[in-house]
Amino acid sequence: MAQVNPTVGSLAANAEKTLEWTEKALKAGADVVLFPELMITGYPPEDLVLKPAFVADNIACLKSLSKKIRGITAIVGFVDRKDAIYNAAALIHDGGVKDVYHKIYLPNYGVFDEERYFRPGSSALNFTLGGVTFGVGICEDIWFPDGPVRAQAAAGADVIVNLNASPYHAGKLVVREKMLRTRARTNDVVIAYNNMVGGQDELVFDGQGMVIDRSGKVVARGAPFAEELIVVDLKIGRKKPLKIIDGVRDVVLSPTLPSPARGEEIWNRSSRTAKKRALKIKEQRPINRHDEMLGALRLGTCDYVKKNGFKHAVVGLSGGIDSSLVAALAADALGGGNVTGVFMPSVFTSKESLEDAEALSKNLGIEFLTIPIRGVQEGYASALKPEFGGSHPGIAEENIQARIRGNILMSLSNKFGWLVLTTGNKSEMSVGYATLYGDMAGGFAVIKDVPKGLVYRLCARLNKRAGRRIIPKRVFTKAPTAELKFNQTDQDTLPPYDVLDAILKAYVEEDKSPGEIAALGFPLKTVRKVIRMVDGSEYKRRQAPPGIKISPRALGKDRRMPITNGYGK
Amino acid sequence: MAQVNPTVGSLAANAEKTLEWTEKALKAGADVVLFPELMITGYPPEDLVLKPAFVADNIACLKSLSKKIRGITAIVGFVDRKDAIYNAAALIHDGGVKDVYHKIYLPNYGVFDEERYFRPGSSALNFTLGGVTFGVGICEDIWFPDGPVRAQAAAGADVIVNLNASPYHAGKLVVREKMLRTRARTNDVVIAYNNMVGGQDELVFDGQGMVIDRSGKVVARGAPFAEELIVVDLKIGRKKPLKIIDGVRDVVLSPTLPSPARGEEIWNRSSRTAKKRALKIKEQRPINRHDEMLGALRLGTCDYVKKNGFKHAVVGLSGGIDSSLVAALAADALGGGNVTGVFMPSVFTSKESLEDAEALSKNLGIEFLTIPIRGVQEGYASALKPEFGGSHPGIAEENIQARIRGNILMSLSNKFGWLVLTTGNKSEMSVGYATLYGDMAGGFAVIKDVPKGLVYRLCARLNKRAGRRIIPKRVFTKAPTAELKFNQTDQDTLPPYDVLDAILKAYVEEDKSPGEIAALGFPLKTVRKVIRMVDGSEYKRRQAPPGIKISPRALGKDRRMPITNGYGK
């Protein structure tokens, strides 16, 4: 299984990567190599697939690739076009495409919109190579007990190969693994589940592919958040005679030699290498759940920055916990030398904030700039004086400060070509405790799906892993504040974060009603206030930068709420 | 047909509106009254329908409503829940729901995501009342020649009643009308096509319902962009005996009297009133295409502002054509007294710009403010001096000006509770010729789907309709400029707008490839440059406010492109 990282739209580069990893598999002595779902286009290609030229180009890349593949059977995801377009897998063998499978189950919920694009396939595909029968499937196909796997197994499949672009969220691995083990046991088949790796806008594909034997045991496991060739030797004992099953076609392939150019040497490698590798991989355990989240945030940030052509990121540092986490993740993803932290004090900024931001920057090895905003603030006050007259300073004046900071970061971005990373967490983004065009200004919202409580836990984990206080101790202990007026703390406006996070999880992720949430043990008045804040800030979220999904329901393509919305009012 | 304007999520208010218009229909002597698709929830309710409480509340509203309806048969759109949720129509008669139809064809393209939410229905519904058989359908159901209409007609339907929430785009009325006339003729049925009216975020429902006789002739027409009761007397001559058709159920209703409370008087009104009304409506002609677009922009703006609880809008005026159109539309939608225009000159601003902005404001009767930005600009220059050093002023410095203006408008919004309307047109939004958080800052982007050439034509039409130059002559004749540096014009950066608009239509709306666009008669180099600008500014559009769709493909839910995208690079 080639657990690789394609880029959406980079058709030629993705085909080239497919060839490169096919050759690695060939060298490792593999007979069959799997790629992820939609390997040629990347996932999700969204409305690109509505462009006829895009689909034609992806088919041309696949055809040209297939001519170069000999001596190994490769199964490669692409977009097929017949009477409609299909989410497809090409069976490449002996320099050509021998058959094409069309995904039957198309997900159209959560972050998925596959029914917008693709027609579902209507027949399953088995192929037989050297006496072993493989059933081909794509992602969602394997999630249904009554799906194609049952028919493929009945028709004699020994191994189900499943191509995936399965986005990460915390806890998903356990669900996947449980489902795959059940599917393998129930159908008496080996399952090779290969997943994409990489970041694409708000999604992160986590890899963590698996091979499960007939008994439901995981016999190999792909790395989390990294490209890897997962090589496994399978013992196949025929379980039952082949049957003819309606809707399952069987293609018989003859084993072929690699093209002379690659030579005997590769073909004749013993499978011992592969066995050794498989045994090694087998020992890889699922990782700590906080490390897994940090891995997702790191890869999501790294890929967004690099795949969009940036080399350097800039973060506004407040001395608080959110910007500390974002700066630490950026330094981890890009290297400290490619990150600039900017501290932008006003009259409301404390000395402690400066000290903490500076200490953090030093610990991370990132550039630290201080740009005071007081002069600009006075400029606005003077420009607006005729209109604001003697009005009491309030939200308008607070937001101006946040917007000055946003503008300064964007100016640095415009001048030096840096990407601005925003620092708002999921709790703030949910209730709209953030300034549109202010602290929400930037290209990528790294911790948009991380609730405040989890921000603290992830920071603690980073310090623990580093064996030192990268994020200064005081950042954990002081009261969270936006420092937009004197003696302000977040809790002037919001309930305590543990209460807020629990209410938000119930409302945003679980669609619970006010009554149901109150029944969990929160005052109905608080619940209603939080819900009002969430519903009333949809217009802000609509203009927020994308950020990395790590929860079952993130604030992005996952949750599509109307702005104009009278419900509950 | 009650062509009415519900609000998404306002379940109780929508049910109340249904009752109110049912009573109007009863008073007009109607036997049957149709409401739009999803009348109770509004359309599109998006992820609200994933909340179990929302669906339960909508069902409760429908049930309570049904008890109040007597003496007339009402067909009302709502979300039904059985084993799954359905886009449904309730057949309300004699104080109860007699049957429920589930929409069979679910649109899942363009702006539509119905397969994300609803399960498709599996059987068609006819009902017979006073010897006349009606076939019930919802929106998409009627667009397919092989859809339920054929079966319903074969089973004896005389009249097809079709509930719609069909969003406006220019030219759609002609397509709808042609389809409906064909459907009526082919199936030998009368068609009553009732459409929603109103704005919902980026969509505008245009009303313009129609009744078509068996010969395909339009016999009644609803007003564009306004609520209206469309009353039509139909002559029904039975065409053929009833047949039993698989998948079509028939409910027979007995005509009932209105509840005593409403009294004999209403029930006994002669149908002369209705006939007279029908004849009057019959004469209503489809309107001029520019007036139709202006109607959509006006209603979209008015409903966004009012349904979101605002009373007053603010627009940054530059003296150019785009802000002039937006200010004129806002004044038309909200009344001049509810609009403020803000002129924010810098050192690059010409005297002519001031004169034109001021003249426009006077003509529109809107408040006019001048807030110079020079002082704030100097504040930024001084704050950024240590970083920008002796670098040459460029995009960074230009964007600062746009962002200062954005901040000032947002400050006025925060201080006075005004909604900021942005002024970018579709040509600019497509190529990213706009400053994120600058001129893109605001709640609603009125002309986001209006290409630059059309902006001029709509302004000309406004002046012509008014019989005077509301928008000053010089605004039409001077070269478009962002005035962010000396002697700047849009054409320093962009191809001439007629060329740009044609390329954009081919690329953004028609998914043509560079080669295909060049073949229309444009230099390939220009085409490639424009495409690069479009693809490269996806990140800006993702953070843009919503705006009103008036074209077949707008820059919003209609066009879902990845930000990270290697295609064509």
pLDDT 10s digits, B306-346: 999 999 999 999 999 999 999 999 999 999 999 999 999 99
> Does A355 qualify as catalytic in the annotation?
no
pLDDT at B276 over 50: no
Which pLDDT band, with edges at 50, 70 and 90, does B284 fall under?
A: low
The beta strands (E) that lie in A426-526 are given as: 444-445
Residues of chain B found within 8 Å of residue A516, distances taken between Cβ atoms: 53
Quote the pLDDT of residue A510: 97
In chain A, residues with a C-beta closer than 8 Å to the C-beta of B49 are none
When scoring B388, B517, B564 by the number of chain A Cβ atoms within 10 A, the one with the most, hence best to mutate, is B564
User: Which residues of A are less than 8 Å from B377 in CB distance?
Assistant: 379
Tokens (6 digits) for A290: 């906080």
Spatial separation of the C-alpha atoms in residues B242 and A98, rounded to whole Å: 53
- pLDDT band at residue B58 using 50, 70 and 90 as cut-offs: very high
Average pLDDT on B552-567 reads 97
State whether the Cα torsion B53-B166-B445-B412 is positive or negative.
Answer: negative
Answer yes or no: do B201 and A415 touch at CB < 8 A.
no
User: DSSP alpha helices (H): ranges in B345-496?
Assistant: 351-364, 374-388, 395-416, 426-431, 452-466, 473-477
Q: How confident is the model at residue B254 (pLDDT cuts 50, 70, 90)?
A: confident
* pLDDT confidence of residue A258: 55
Please give the radius of gyration of chain A, using alpha carbons only, rounded to the nearest integer: 26
Name the one residue in this structure whose structure tokens are 């992602």.
A139
Show the CA angle centred on residue B310, arms to residues B306 and B313, nearest 5°.
105
Of B407, B401, B403, B422, residue with least CA distance to B485: B401
CB A91 within 8 A of CB A73: yes
Tokens 């402690």 belong to which residue?
A352
Chain B segment 134-153 residues within 8 A of A by beta carbon are none
B408 touches chain A (CB under 8 A): yes
Which tokens go with A423?
């620092």
Q: What is the pLDDT of residue B258?
A: 56
How confident is the model at residue B265, as a pLDDT? 40
Does B376 sit within 8 Å of A376, measured CB to CB?
yes
Distance, CA of B36 to CA of B308 (rounded, Å)? 22
Q: How far is CA B369 from CA A62, A150, A431, in A?
A: 60, 71, 33
Identify any residues that bridge with B384 across adjacent strands, giving them in sequence order: none
In 3D, which of A438, A359, A366 has the Cα closest to residue A399?
A438
Check A51 against B513: CB less than 8 A apart. yes
Instruction: Determine, for residues A386 and B403 on separate chains, whether the beta-carbon distance falls below 8 Å.
Output: no
How close A518 gets to chain B, by Cα (Å)? 14
Kindly indicate whether the ipTM for this predicted assembly is greater than 0.90, answering yes or no. yes
Residue B274: pLDDT band with limits 50, 70, 90? very low
Intervals of chain A under pLDDT 70: 238-242, 256-286
- Catalytic member of A23, A37, A292, A398: A37
Least Cα distance to B556 among A543, A566, A200, A440 occurs for A543
Per-residue confidence (pLDDT) for residue B269, from 0 to 100: 39
Q: Exactly one of B17, B23, B37, B426 is catalytic; name it.
A: B37
- Which two three-digit tokens encode residue B354? 């001031």
Distance from CA of B167 to the nearest CA of A (A): 15
Tell me what pLDDT residue A569 has: 84
Distance of CA B535 to the CA centre of its chain: 26
The answer to whether B243 is a known catalytic residue is: no
Answer whether A566 sits within 8 Å of B539, measured CB to CB. no
Percent of chain B whose predicted confidence (pLDDT) is above 70: 94
Chain A residues lying within 8 Å of B543, measured CB to CB: 543-545
Cβ–Cβ gap A308/B415 under 8 Å: no
Q: Is A569 on the interface with B (CB under 8 A)?
A: yes
Please, what's the b/e burial string for B331-357 (b: 16 or more CB within 10 A of its CB; e: otherwise)?
A: bbbbebebbbbbbbbbebbeeebbebb
Closest CB to A513: pick one of B9, B53, B399: B53
The closest of B302, B110, B106 to B204, measured between CA atoms, is: B302
- B384/A371 Cβ within 8 A: yes
Q: Do B566 and A307 touch (CB under 8 A)?
A: yes
B461-495: string of b/e by CB count within 10 Å (b at 16+)?
A: bbbeeeeebbbbeebeebebbbbbbeebebeeebb
Q: Of A116, A407, A539, which is closest to B109 when you measure between CB atoms?
A: A116
Residues B255, A345: Cα–Cα separation, whole Å: 75
Report chain B residues whose CB lies below 8 A from the CB of A417: none
Pairwise CB contact (< 8 Å): B436 & A511: no
Please give the pLDDT value at position A238: 63
| Contact between B35 and B77 (Cβ < 8 Å) | yes
B368 touches A at CB < 8 Å: no
Long-range contacts of B499-505 (CB under 8 A, 24+ apart): B499/B526, B500/B427, B500/B431, B500/B452, B500/B530, B501/B427, B501/B451, B501/B452, B501/B453, B501/B454, B503/B527, B503/B530, B503/B531, B504/B426, B504/B427, B504/B430, B504/B431, B504/B451, B504/B530, B504/B534, B505/B451
- pLDDT of B504: 98
Instruction: Say if CB B75 and CB B69 are below 8 A apart.
Output: no
The label of the residue with tokens 């953090």 reads A360
Closest chain A CA to residue B509:
A51
CB contact under 8 A, B13 and A566: yes
Cβ–Cβ < 8 Å for B6, B17: yes
Element (H, E) at A198: strand A197-200
Give residues with Cβ within 8 angstroms of B503, minimum separation 6: B495, B517, B522, B526, B527, B530, B531
B370-B374-B377 Cα angle (round to 5): 125
Min Cα–Cα distance to chain B from A371, Å: 6
CB atoms within 10 A of CB A36: 31
Average pLDDT taken over every residue of chain B: 93
Query: Which residue reads 């009761």 in tokens?
Result: B229
CB-CB under 8 Å, B415 with A388: yes
Q: One of A103, A307, A505, A549 is an active-site residue; which one?
A: A103
Q: CA dist A71 to A175, A232, B68, B466, Å?
A: 36, 17, 75, 77
B545 chain-A contacts, CB cut-off 8 A: 539, 542-543
Residues of B in contact with A561 (CB under 8 A): 46-48
Tell me the shortest Cα–Cα distance from A502 to chain B, in angstroms: 18
Whether the CB of B391 is below 8 Å from some CB of chain A: the reply is yes
Helix (H/G/I), strand (E/B), else coil: A252? strand
Portion 309-328 of B in contact with A at CB < 8 A: none
A235 catalytic per annotation: no
Whether pLDDT at B281 is above 50: no
> Cβ of A384 and B408 within 8 Å?
yes
CB contact under 8 A, A382 and B399: no
- Find the radius of gyration of the CA atoms of chain B: 26
Calculate helix-pair angle for B452-466, B289-307, nearest 10 degrees. Answer: 90
Q: CB under 8 Å to B64, separation ≥6 — which residues?
A: B15
For chain B positions 98-117, those within 8 Å of chain A (CB to CB) are 108-109, 113, 115-116
A566, B511: Cβ pair inside 8 Å?
A: no
pLDDT above 70 for B272? no
Q: What is the count of residue pairs from A and B with beta carbons less than 8 Å apart?
A: 242
pLDDT tops 70 at residue B240: no
CB–CB contact B54 A562 (8 Å): no
Touching A: B residues 48-107, CB under 8 Å: 48, 50-54, 57
- For the ranges A237-251, B10-24, B216-230, which has the lowest average pLDDT? A237-251
Which amino acid, A218? V
CA distance B395 to A343: 23
Q: Which residues pair with A124 in a beta bridge?
A: A248
d(CA A176, CA A199): 19
Residue A161 backbone phi and psi in degrees, to 5: -105, 125
User: In this predicted structure, what is the pLDDT of residue B193?
Assistant: 98
Rounded to 5°, angle at Cα A531 from A394 and B306: 65
Tokens, residue B376: 């704030």
For residue B437, the chain A residues in CB contact (below 8 A) are 403, 406-407, 410, 437, 441
Structure confidence by residue, pLDDT tens digits, B413-466: 999 999 999 999 999 999 999 999 999 999 999 999 999 999 999 999 999 999
Query: Quick check: B246 pLDDT over 90?
Result: no
- CB–CB contact B562 A11 (8 Å): no
Residue A11: HSE in the Cβ half-sphere, 13 Å Cα cutoff? 20
Catalytic site residue from B103, B307, B426, B505: B103
Chain B residues inside the 8 Å CB shell of A415: 387-388, 391, 394, 396
CB A318 within 8 A of CB A356: no
- Range 417-436 of B in CB contact (< 8 A) with A: 436
Task: Give the separation between CA A253 and CA A130, rounded to whole angstroms.
Answer: 8
Q: Is A303 within 8 Å of chain B by CB?
A: yes
CA distances from A548 to A191, A293, B383 (A): 29, 10, 32
Spatial contact of B300 and B548, defined as CB atoms under 8 Å apart: yes
- Cα dihedral sign, B33-B36-B42-B46: positive
